[in-house]
């Protein structure tokens, strides 16, 4: 009998637990849905060789990174030095997706800030961006030998993130066969921080 | 110096609030009169100090004191004076100060207009409000002090967010907060009743006008917010089921249920526990709203600067408030009597059904608002295997909300003419038959006149006309029985205000539903690329785009479009939508141009320049859209009428409190009032 | 309900994009109103899709760059004769269920979709039990205040002779 008067209290307590937990989550971060799915195929112009069209299928067989960038993107400037540094080390193939940018602007920007990319694809219309679920620039994908997206970083990369997340994930993919068709969580544990 | 005075005044206000919250409460529990007597002066003193604090902040804004961090964040030397004042509540810290200021005003009002209440009741009510104030003062002083200094001082301020540089900001937040905070009075009355163990009709009568007034402010606040969003956000939406909107809507639903439940408690002594629980719920949802808006747990179009630490604090406040009151409720409620008997068909049972439906509607809004958060939290901790976040938006609410409330809309017309205790179903059907016939006919004809018909539209109009017809039936029956000499208007005017208030509020709902149904069904929207001289025609109106000129405002530069609207070759109006860039925040702002009319709005908003001389322009024809806010205004007017009913003003001094119910009624008859003349 | 649109706050990049890149889409913009029926369908679908870069807006409302792109994508797909389901699936495949303002019906959302009806049912049940229990309780307490009140009511009714109908004088 008494219990029925406690129902409102119980409802409230349950609700506040969720509210409390919710405080420490970021509602704006959208978990990517295309992880462990085949990277959508595309064939795009090479930014520095506009007459040439390159397909991503030509990259099968190696672990590579696709970095979405644009000359109008302010945050890209922030991550750019780290990408240049990464490129200098030379052990991870880095490709760019020049997203919704005038090719001439893109080329000028790379001249100015350095070009870390083995090649940049021209996605002038942004259609490939949509296929990859890009919703902000910059974003970075790690794609394995079989052409499957294995990891995605939203927003500018930091030096720490490259060291503790990107590099280990790439190295793991290069050296190991995946067991459960996903990168083990101990490899990516630093990524969400 | 002035900011320090403000800060200091706030600290003193906190101290006074502590005294106000503790001493009279103990006095009432222990029966010590002098302690109880402290309640009123403490409440009044508290207002003085928080007023000082408020004025100090205002001075800092008026004189552009950019050594105050909050002023530097929210204002700018170019900002027009009126916005410098309203910028006080343009950000988090200042709006919290407004919150406690309004709370202090409510407490002050209680201390003034409670002459005919027993002392222990008044002491408890004021004390509970004092304790609520203490929580919010601590919140301000510990986490969000608007008087914090910025050293060195900023050369100039970062300016008020351009979206807030609008008359809407001047009036919407104070209205909304007055509503939110006003529920603290009903809450305090409920707790006082629980503490004293005396929950009777007298208690309901005392707290009822306060609740009604809070409700009417909240109604206005929400309506103004919706109207502001409509003309300010540039896409002509008026309600998006956004978390922040829901945060203000949930206390409103709870408050609406409370207003109805109080009617039963006052008239028939029933639903006491339920009423108390609703009073606690309404205020808890006000605090929950504050939490949702300021903690950043949910994503919203109308976001405040958010901060998890503040979130924890408000959640703590909410927790203390709710747990204390619900524990008290669980202890006391089982001993409360059930009140008068009534039949399955009676006004009580209809009001009870209405209450249940409103609470279910509240539950639906809460479910939809918090569900994404719950899924995200469970997924985050691996409790459910879900990778995706989910969104719950208008399609969900627009489907569920009317389903849940449809029976309530049906009862809304019948309830007011149903007798208390026991009514005859055949008689009700007899009395409503014309209302039914007319509303069904109208519901079929109107969509036909407007163009397209569909089931949803017909149902929408049916609900609206049914409610309106119900109001007319109720009015007619009362007028027929009136003994007052004179024409029909005189007779209507002579009816009790509480009855007229109910009619007005219900009629407002009808107007509101018409507005919603019309605009959702027959709105025409075009997103155009227009070159100079281009025209677009919709609903008989021709919009001609005559180019864009540059204009300069006090603190912004604008592109101003010139759109000539004609109908049958006659000029209706010229509209000047603007695209502003504010100098300090360099944020593009669309300022829609609207031609408002009784049966339609013409709405033009300027998009982006697409090529030389051509702009993207959005043009809307929105039939009956103003009825949405008009309906809310009529509802609020109903609240005002109900709260001004004579019976709340009969000063029979403290005798009333001790009286038994029959005595009370007898006294009312003696003073010539009309007790319990059926009104909901 | 203070409003600060997110656009400027977090994804200024995308807004910027909207301004810069729009010329490339101008042709499509011009053709927008060419087919009102198609446009209506585009708007209907767009109104159910969330603009990911905005705080909480549909792509129909938003002028953000990505929203414009996605709206154009919707328009293309509609003109190719794709159904609403196909278009929504296309978006979900890329952006997840988060883009849907109408959440899909699946185990995770069963509670969400059934919730209102469960609440209605519980409400009805509580109502029924309360009314039943109440009748019992009221009967069990003889000569309570309520009874007295009822007595008073009857007396009062006799006094106010013609008070049938909607009103009733208490006590």
Is C69 within 8 Å of A126 when comparing Cβ atoms?
yes
Provide the pLDDT for residue B303: 56
pLDDT of C29 above 50: no
Of A82-86, B209-213, B301-305, C138-142, minimum mean pLDDT range: C138-142
Top residue of A38, A42, A72 to mutate, by most chain C CBs within 10 Å, is A72
Provide the pLDDT for residue B141: 94
On whether any CB of chain B is under 8 Å from the CB of C54, the answer is yes
Provide the pLDDT for residue B500: 92
* Mean pLDDT, all residues of chain A: 85
Is A28 within 8 Å of C10 when comparing Cβ atoms?
yes
Mean pLDDT of all residues in C103-111: 90
On whether any CB of chain B is under 8 Å from the CB of C19, the answer is yes
Mean pLDDT of all residues in C116-124: 94
User: What confidence tens digit (pLDDT) does each residue in A143-170 have?
Assistant: 988 889 988 888 888 888 888 888 888 8
Q: At B276, phi and psi to the nearest 5?
A: -60, -45
How many other CB atoms are there within 10 angstroms of residue A57's CB atom? 11
Is C65 within 8 Å of A125 when comparing Cβ atoms?
no
On whether any CB of chain B is under 8 Å from the CB of C30, the answer is yes
Contact B189, B619 (CB under 8 A): no
pLDDT of C8 above 70: no
What is the C-alpha radius of gyration for chain B, rounded to an integer number of angstroms? 27
pLDDT of A182 above 50: yes
What ipTM describes this predicted complex?
0.85
User: What confidence tens digit (pLDDT) does each residue in B606-643 have?
Assistant: 887 877 778 888 889 999 999 999 999 999 999 999 99
Chunked in runs of 10, what are the mean pLDDT values of chain B (680 residues)? 92 95 91 89 94 95 91 88 90 91 95 86 93 94 90 83 82 92 94 86 87 95 91 82 90 95 85 90 92 77 67 90 91 77 83 93 94 87 79 92 92 87 82 89 87 85 93 90 82 87 94 93 84 85 88 87 90 90 78 90 86 83 94 95 80 43 41 36
Rounded to whole angstroms, how far apart are CA atoms A155 and C9?
A: 15
SS3 state at B607: strand
For residue A86, the distance in angstroms to the closest alpha carbon of chain B comes to 30
Is A124 within 8 Å of C24 when comparing Cβ atoms?
yes
Provide the pLDDT for residue C148: 59
Q: Which residues of C touch A127 (CB under 8 A)?
A: 73
Q: Of B361, B347, B273, B262, nearest to B642 (Cα)?
A: B262
Rounded to whole angstroms, how far apart are CA atoms A192 and A186?
A: 12
Provide the pLDDT for residue C54: 73
Provide the pLDDT for residue B594: 92
With 0-12 / 13-18 / 19 or more C-beta atoms within 10 angstroms meaning exposed / middle / buried, residue B339 is: buried
For residue A131, the distance in angstroms to the closest alpha carbon of chain C comes to 6
Provide the pLDDT for residue A27: 67
Q: Of A70, B614, B620, nearest to C26 (Cα)?
A: B614
Rounded to whole angstroms, how far apart are CA atoms B404 and A43?
A: 52
Going by pLDDT thresholds of 50, 70 and 90, the confidence category of residue C163 is very low
Give, in degrees to the nearest 5, the angle at Cα B97 between B95 and B103. 105
Rounded to whole angstroms, how far apart are CA atoms B622 and B520?
A: 9
pLDDT of C158 above 70: no
CA atoms within 13 A on the CB side of B420: 27
- Range 85-104 of C in CB contact (< 8 A) with B: 96-103
Is B225 within 8 Å of C1 when comparing Cβ atoms?
yes
For residue C63, give the nearest of B300, B417, B607 by CB distance.
B607
Of A49-58, A66-75, B304-313, C82-91, minimum mean pLDDT range: B304-313
pLDDT of C17 above 80: no
């Amino acid at each position: 009998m008494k219990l029925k008067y406690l129902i409102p209290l119980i409802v409230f307590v349950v609700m506040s637990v969720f509210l409390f937990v919710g405080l420490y989550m970021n509602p704006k971060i959208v978990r990517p849905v295309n992880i462990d799915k085949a990277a959508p195929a595309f064939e795009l112009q090479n930014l520095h060789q506009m007459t040439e069209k390159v397909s991503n299928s030509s990259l099968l067989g190696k672990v590579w990174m696709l970095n979405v960038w644009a000359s109008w993107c302010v945050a890209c400037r922030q991550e750019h030095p780290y990408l240049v540094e990464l490129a200098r080390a030379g052990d991870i193939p880095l490709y760019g997706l020049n997203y919704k940018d005038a090719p001439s602007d893109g080329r000028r920007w790379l001249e100015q800030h350095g070009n870390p990319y083995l090649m940049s694809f021209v996605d002038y219309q942004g259609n490939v961006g949509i296929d990859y679920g890009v919703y902000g620039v910059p974003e970075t994908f790690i794609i394995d030998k079989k052409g499957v997206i294995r990891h995605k970083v939203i927003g500018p990369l930091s030096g720490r993130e490259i060291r503790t997340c990107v590099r280990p994930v790439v190295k793991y993919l290069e050296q190991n066969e995946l067991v459960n068709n996903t990168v083990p969580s101990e490899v990516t544990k630093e990524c969400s921080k | 110096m002035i900011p320090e005075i403000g800060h200091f005044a706030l600290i003193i206000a906190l101290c006074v609030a502590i005294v106000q919250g503790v001493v009279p409460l103990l006095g009432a529990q222990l029966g010590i009169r002098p302690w109880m007597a402290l309640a009123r002066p403490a409440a009044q003193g508290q207002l003085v100090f928080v007023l000082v604090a408020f004025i100090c902040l205002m001075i800092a804004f008026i004189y552009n004191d950019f050594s105050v961090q909050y002023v530097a964040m929210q204002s700018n030397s170019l900002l027009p004076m009126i916005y410098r004042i309203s910028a006080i509540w343009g950000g988090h810290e200042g709006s919290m100060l407004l919150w406690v200021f309004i709370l202090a005003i409510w407490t002050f009002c209680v201390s003034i207009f409670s002459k005919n209440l027993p002392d222990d009741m008044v002491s408890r009510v004021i004390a509970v409000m004092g304790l609520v104030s203490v929580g919010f003062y601590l919140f301000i002083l510990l986490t969000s002090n608007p008087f914090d200094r910025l050293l060195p001082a900023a050369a100039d301020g970062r300016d008020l967010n351009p979206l807030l540089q609008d008359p809407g900001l001047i009036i919407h937040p104070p209205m909304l907060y007055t509503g939110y905070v006003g529920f603290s009075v009903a809450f305090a009355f409920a707790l006082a009743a629980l503490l004293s163990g005396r929950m009777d009709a007298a208690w309901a009568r005392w707290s009822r006008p306060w609740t009604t007034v809070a409700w009417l402010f909240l109604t206005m606040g929400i309506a103004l917010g919706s109207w502001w969003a409509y003309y300010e956000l540039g896409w002509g939406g008026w309600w998006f089921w956004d978390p922040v909107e829901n945060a203000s809507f949930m206390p409103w639903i709870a408050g609406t249920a409370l207003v109805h439940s109080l009617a039963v408690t006052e008239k028939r002594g029933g639903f006491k526990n339920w009423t108390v629980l609703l009073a606690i719920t309404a205020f808890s949802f006000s605090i929950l709203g504050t939490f949702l808006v300021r903690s950043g747990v949910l994503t919203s179009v109308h976001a405040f600067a958010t901060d998890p630490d503040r979130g924890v604090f408000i959640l703590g406040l909410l927790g203390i408030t709710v747990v204390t009151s619900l524990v008290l409720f669980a202890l006391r409620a089982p001993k409360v009597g059930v009140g008068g008997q009534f039949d399955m068909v009676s006004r009580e049972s209809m009001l009870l059904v209405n209450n249940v439906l409103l609470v279910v509607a509240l539950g639906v809004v809460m479910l939809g608002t918090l569900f994404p958060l719950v899924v995200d939290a469970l997924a985050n901790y691996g409790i459910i295997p879900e990778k995706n976040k989910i969104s719950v938006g208008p399609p969900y609410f627009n489907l569920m909300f009317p389903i849940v409330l449809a029976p309530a809309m049906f009862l809304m017309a019948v309830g007011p003419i149903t007798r208390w205790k026991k009514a005859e179903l055949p008689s009700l059907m007899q009395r409503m038959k014309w209302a039914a016939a007319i509303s069904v006919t109208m519901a079929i004809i109107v969509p036909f006149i407007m163009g397209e018909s569909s089931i949803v539209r017909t149902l929408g109009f049916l609900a609206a006309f049914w409610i309106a017809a119900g109001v007319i039936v109720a009015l007619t029956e009362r007028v027929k029985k009136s003994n007052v000499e004179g024409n029909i208007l005189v007779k209507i005017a002579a009816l009790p205000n509480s009855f007229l208030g109910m009619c007005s509020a219900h009629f407002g709902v009808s107007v509101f539903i018409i507005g919603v149904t019309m605009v959702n069904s027959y709105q025409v929207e075009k997103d155009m690329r227009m070159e100079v001289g281009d025209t677009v025609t919709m609903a008989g109106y021709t919009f001609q785009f005559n180019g864009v000129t540059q204009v300069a405002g006090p603190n912004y530069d604008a592109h101003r479009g010139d759109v000539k609207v004609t109908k049958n070759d006659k000029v209706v109006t010229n509209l000047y939508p603007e695209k502003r860039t504010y100098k300090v925040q360099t944020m593009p702002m669309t300022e829609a141009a609207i031609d408002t009319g009784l049966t339609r709005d013409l709405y033009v908003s300027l998009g982006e320049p697409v090529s030389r001389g051509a702009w993207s322009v959005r043009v809307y024809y929105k039939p009956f859209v103003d009825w949405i806010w008009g309906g809310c205004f009529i509802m609020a007017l109903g609240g005002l009428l109900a709260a001004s009913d004579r019976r709340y003003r009969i000063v029979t001094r403290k005798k009333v409190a001790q009286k038994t119910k029959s005595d009370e009624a007898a006294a009312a008859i003696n003073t010539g009032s009309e007790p319990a003349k059926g009104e909901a | 309900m203070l409003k600060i649109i997110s656009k400027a706050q977090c994804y200024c990049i995308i807004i910027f994009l909207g301004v810069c890149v729009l010329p490339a889409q101008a042709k499509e913009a011009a053709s927008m109103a060419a087919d009102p029926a198609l446009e209506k369908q585009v708007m209907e679908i767009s109104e159910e899709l969330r603009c990911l870069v905005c705080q909480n807006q549909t792509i129909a409302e938003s002028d953000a760059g990505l929203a414009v792109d996605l709206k154009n994508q919707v328009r293309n797909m509609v003109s190719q004769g794709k159904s609403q389901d196909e278009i929504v699936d296309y978006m979900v495949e890329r952006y997840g269920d988060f883009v849907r303002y109408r959440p899909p019906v699946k185990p995770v959302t069963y509670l969400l979709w059934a919730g209102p009806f469960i609440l209605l049912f519980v409400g009805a049940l509580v109502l029924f039990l309360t009314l039943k229990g109440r009748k019992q309780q009221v009967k069990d307490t003889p000569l309570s205040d309520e009874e007295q009140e009822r007595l008073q009511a009857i007396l009062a009714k006799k006094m106010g002779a013609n008070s049938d109908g909607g009103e009733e004088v208490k006590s």
